């Protein structure tokens, strides 16, 4: 295929791509497809239409694959990607670490989720400035790959806070392109976003405003972004149309509330490994009510307060002792960030405390599992009576949507007001302030006490809201928003 | 004096009163007058007009004094308070500790200053609910003392976040009174205020809206309060007049930017003990430029990042090595709250690191003093070339105002955008984002490099802004705002 014909009409850019590699014992590379809303949303589209997906090599095996492929084009290196064209960028390791771990995950993620221990962090010094240079370089690598891979008038969908600078970098070189940026996180209010160095805050906002359309998972996050544009760029915001007038261009914002991939989930959940897990879990839980939570061990997921609420339930409502089992699946995340290691320890500690306080020879009140087992998660969704989703702040939270979809007998959802999922699901879930452990304990009681018919009726409404915008449509909506 | 004639036309309520007691070696009580803007603002007024000041006993000696005075009325117990009438409330020790330390200082203070390590704190559980009951009881004690001490149609000025519930409690019993509430802290944006349990957040807002006039130190804090009323009470806010329509009443908000007590300061600074300190400091500093900071060791004061900025200055601008001395006076505060003890340790640690990195036999780059010495602070204001005031969030910050007032040769002020003082002083100070250590290092360089005439001219403007609303007028303005 010649250079010209190979240019794509649709481009996707995201830090994590649709595949990841590992090195087998014999030294050869093998790969597996990733999960998550973005991958399932884009994969189906990518295979069908003229799409190039640009992503970063995340591991040594990825680097090996990327560097062995011509121009990083995995599809040209003999990997069967089901028709998708993927360019994996072999970004220098230190540049990647600074951009991804230090800037994106330890700074931007913390800002948008309001996770800082503010008296002590953040601290923007000369070392941070050096990391920021690498974030720029990492963004520039993506922009370069996108502009060289884009056909005349192509559409590009740039994903998330890792790539905030890409739209503006692209526009400078390719004004013919139509560019969308989509944020999978919340957006910080101005009082919090303003912690960033002023020039860096402006660079992030202006970077995103290089796009034609800036998308979010919730109206709340879109509005917070607009407020930041008003506050820090003195940009003219039209609040009726929710557009920003900046640099002589009108940039639109939009809300695309990513839903569950019901079809894919149900298909996966019918497999044998899920049935096996289900049998094991059933035995474990016995005839008791099952309260479930499934999270990455992520600072924003609020696992400790969730477990504290369960403890308060058992203290204040002793009638539940012996009658309920709490399964908490908290699989490891970001072990390279010290706050996450400390948080994982806190989760373990309170779990032990709860069992020390309440366990009997016949009953283990809480079962905490800190390893990842996807079919087990799906099986637990099928069985749960109550699903707890109480993040202190969350772009959307797909667990809240996937749980009801797979539930066999209708589950109640205890849901944080601070999750994007609350926008659509608030009416049918039992809502909680994630900082309010007493309220969450009461919500657990309410959810556990709910009559079967009410729980099932609510669950139906939860499912309806959950599947309203499946991943594929979520993605095509982003492209459609580009006109 | 009979009960009737003893009722006051003006009432003041604040946690800390104008005097504090200590027990002498012979077991007798002695007292001293307190400092701070409120005391100096009110004392002069209290002595002149028909005023009753209600405050809490803060120590065992205070309790002894309060319980020995008839109805807690110190002025009736033979203490010479210069004509002021003071009722000191002997609130039960545990009630006081829960209200003051747990709710006011470890919760409301943290909310308004945005100080929480959010993944871990706050956590509102059954224990907090019990503390909240004590906060209510503590507020009720003040309300009771105020309504029983108030003459028909009297004016009451209720001070600060400790007493947020008092206005509503008073209004229920004495609709004839005119009530003002004044906040000496910032006010949290809704995204942060919303961490509080929903009913408690509403109770605080409605408590304050029991007043006729709600005052703040900065327009920013007043606007944040109004936004919280809109968000959490769905109250009707008139943004042109900045009033709240709630419960059938119109509550006005106002801004009274407390200034320095120039006259009192200058008088105090002329005393011999200040001159002695000045001589000692001069010798200590030698002919070097003096960079000064004076703070309580308070999480919001941002001492660690301030010292980190000084370190970055010495690293990136080696020309200042040996030519500047940084005096950091950080006197102890809130040792009963664990976060404060840890923070004090962090301050000590970075101070040691700086001296280890840069000290020479002839030069100590940083002198950290963690004890309180008021005349020494005044002497240091007189001598400083650069005053650093970089809080992450601060209602006003009077150090920024008092320093220039006492400066002998005109000082430059490096000032945080997040201090209320920035409203009036921003134009003449060197402004910094308190999280941005690199920017603060550059601001130190700018301030140190400023030509003498520019520094003096700016300092004159700083003084002008600092003395615009002296404490006495600040207080009478609050009363006038009641009509």
Q: Which among A122, A125, A304 has the least Cβ separation from residue B438? A: A125
State yes or no: pLDDT of A35 exceeds 70: no
Q: Work out the pLDDT band at B1, boundaries 50, 70, 90.
A: very low
The three-state secondary structure class of A31 is strand
Hey, what long-range contacts does A472-475 have (CB within 8 A, 24 or more apart)? Answer: A472/A40, A472/A41, A472/A44, A472/A45, A472/A261, A474/A37, A474/A41, A474/A256, A474/A257, A474/A258, A474/A259, A475/A41, A475/A42, A475/A45, A475/A157
The overall average pLDDT reported for chain A is: 94
Taking the C-alpha atoms of residue A411 and residue B359, their distance in angstroms, rounded to an integer, is 65
d(CA A374, CA A365): 23
Helices (H), A286-398: 303-316, 338-358, 374-383
Rounded to the nearest 5 percent, the helix, strand and coil shares of chain B are 50, 20, 30
Interface test with chain B among A107, A112, A116, A119, by most B beta carbons within 10 Å:
A119
Q: CB A302 to CB B129 under 8 A?
A: no
Model ipTM? Answer: 0.95
Residue B111: enclosing H or E segment and its boundaries? Answer: helix B109-113
Residue B483's pLDDT band, with cuts at 50, 70 and 90, is: confident
Question: Does residue B45 have a pLDDT over 80?
Answer: no
User: Which pLDDT does position B3 carry in this prediction?
Assistant: 46
Q: How far is A414 from chain B (nearest CA, A)?
A: 16
Structure tokens given for B260? 């320095």
Which residues in B lie closer than 8 A to residue A308 (C-beta atoms)? 123, 125
Residue A5 has a pLDDT of 56
DSSP label at residue B99: I
Decide if pLDDT at A47 tops 70.
no
**Chain A residue set in contact with B, beta carbons under 8 Å:** 114-120, 122-126, 128-129, 189-192, 194-198, 299-300, 302, 304-305, 308, 312, 315-316, 339, 343, 346, 392, 433, 435-439, 441
Are A435 and B300 a contacting pair at CB < 8 A?
no
A316/B128 CB distance under 8 A = no
Question: B106 contacts in A (CB within 8 Å)?
Answer: none
Euclidean distance between CA atoms B106 and B94, whole angstroms: 15
Partners of B414 in beta bridges = B388, B430
Q: Which residue has the higher pLDDT, B1 or A38?
A: A38
**Mean pLDDT within A365-383:** 96
pLDDT top residue among A415 and B337? A415
A204-233 pLDDT tens trace: 999 999 999 999 999 999 999 999 999 999
Overall CATH class of domain B3-258+472-481: alpha beta
Structure tokens at B375: 């005349």
Write out pLDDT tens, residues A298-330: 999 999 999 999 999 999 999 999 999 999 999
- The domain covering B262-466 belongs, at the CATH homologous superfamily level, to Glycogen Phosphorylase B; (3.40.50.2000)
Place of tokens 């709240």: B244
Disruptive mutation site among B106, B110, B118, B390 for chain A (greatest number of A CBs within 10 Å):
B118
B394-424, pLDDT tens digit by residue? 999 999 999 999 999 999 999 999 999 999 9
Three-class secondary structure of residue A399 per DSSP: helix
What are the backbone angles phi and psi of residue B296, rounded to the nearest 5°? -65, 150
Q: Which residue has the tokens 């994630």?
A: A434
Cα–Cα distance for residue pair B207/B210, rounded to 1 Å: 5
Residue of A nearest to B416 (CA): A195
Domains A3-258+472-481 and A262-466 share a fold: yes
CB contact under 8 A, A439 and B115: no
* pLDDT at A3 > cutoff 50: no
Say how many CB pairs under 8 Å bridge A and B. 118
Question: Could A195 and B125 be called an inter-chain contact, meaning their C-beta atoms sit closer than 8 Å?
Answer: no
pTM of the complete model: 0.96
Q: For chain A, state the CA radius of gyration.
A: 23
Give the residue with greater pLDDT, B2 vs B150.
Answer: B150
Mean pLDDT on A367-385? 96
Which of A119, A129, A339 lies nearest to residue B299, judging by beta carbons? A119
Ranges A82-86, A92-96, A176-180, B4-8: which has the least confidence: B4-8
Q: Where are the domains of chain A?
A: 3-258+472-481, 262-466
pLDDT digits (tens, 9 = 90+) for B229-268: 999 999 999 999 999 999 899 999 999 999 999 999 999 9
Asked whether the predicted pLDDT for residue B323 surpasses 70, the reply is: yes
Chain A residue with CA closest to B187: the answer is A191
């Amino acid at each position: 295929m010649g250079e010209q014909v190979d240019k794509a009409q649709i481009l996707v850019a995201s830090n994590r791509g649709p595949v990841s590699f590992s090195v087998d014992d014999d030294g050869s590379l093998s790969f597996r497809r990733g999960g998550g809303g973005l991958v399932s949303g884009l994969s189906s589209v990518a295979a069908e239409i003229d799409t190039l997906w640009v992503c970063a090599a995340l591991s040594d095996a990825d680097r090996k694959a990327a560097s062995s492929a011509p121009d990083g084009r995995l599809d040209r290196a003999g990997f069967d990607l089901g028709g998708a064209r993927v360019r994996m960028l072999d970004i220098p390791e230190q540049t990647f670490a600074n951009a991804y771990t230090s800037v994106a995950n330890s700074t931007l993620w913390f800002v948008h989720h309001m996770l800082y221990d503010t008296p002590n962090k953040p601290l923007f010094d000369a070392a941070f400035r050096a990391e920021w240079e690498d974030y720029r370089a990492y963004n520039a690598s993506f922009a370069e790959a996108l502009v060289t891979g884009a056909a005349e008038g192509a559409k590009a969908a740039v994903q998330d806070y890792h790539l905030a600078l890409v739209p503006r970098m692209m526009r400078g070189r390719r004004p013919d392109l139509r560019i969308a940026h989509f944020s999978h996180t919340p957006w910080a209010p101005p009082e919090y976003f303003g912690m960033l160095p002023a020039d860096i805050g402006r660079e992030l906002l202006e970077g995103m405003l290089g796009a034609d359309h800036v998308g979010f998972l919730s109206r709340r996050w879109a509005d917070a972004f607009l407020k930041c544009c008003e506050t820090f760029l003195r940009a003219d915001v039209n609040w009726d149309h929710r557009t920003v007038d900046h640099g002589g261009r009108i940039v639109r914002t939009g809300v695309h509330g990513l839903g569950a991939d019901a079809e894919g989930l149900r298909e996966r959940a019918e497999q044998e490994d899920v049935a096996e897990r289900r049998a094991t879990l059933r035995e474990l839980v016995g005839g008791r009510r099952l309260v479930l939570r499934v999270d990455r061990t992520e600072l924003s997921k609020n696992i400790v307060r969730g477990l504290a609420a369960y403890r308060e339930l058992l203290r204040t409502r002793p009638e539940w002792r012996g009658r309920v089992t709490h399964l908490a699946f908290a699989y490891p995340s970001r072990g390279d960030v010290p706050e996450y290691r400390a948080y994982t320890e806190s989760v373990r500690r309170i779990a032990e405390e709860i069992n020390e306080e309440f366990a009997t020879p016949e009953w283990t009140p809480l079962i905490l599992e800190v390893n990842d087992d996807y079919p087990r998660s799906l099986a637990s969704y099928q069985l749960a009576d109550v699903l707890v989703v109480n993040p202190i702040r969350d772009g959307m939270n797909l667990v809240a949507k996937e749980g009801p979809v797979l539930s066999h007998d209708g589950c109640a959802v205890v849901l944080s007001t601070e999750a994007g999922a609350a926008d659509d699901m608030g009416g049918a879930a039992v809502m909680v302030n994630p900082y309010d452990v007493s309220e969450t304990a009461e919500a657990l009681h309410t959810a556990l006490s709910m009559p079967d018919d009410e729980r099932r009726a609510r669950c139906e409404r939860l499912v309806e809201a959950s599947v309203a915008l499946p991943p594929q449509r979520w993605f095509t909506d982003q492209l459609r928003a580009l006109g």
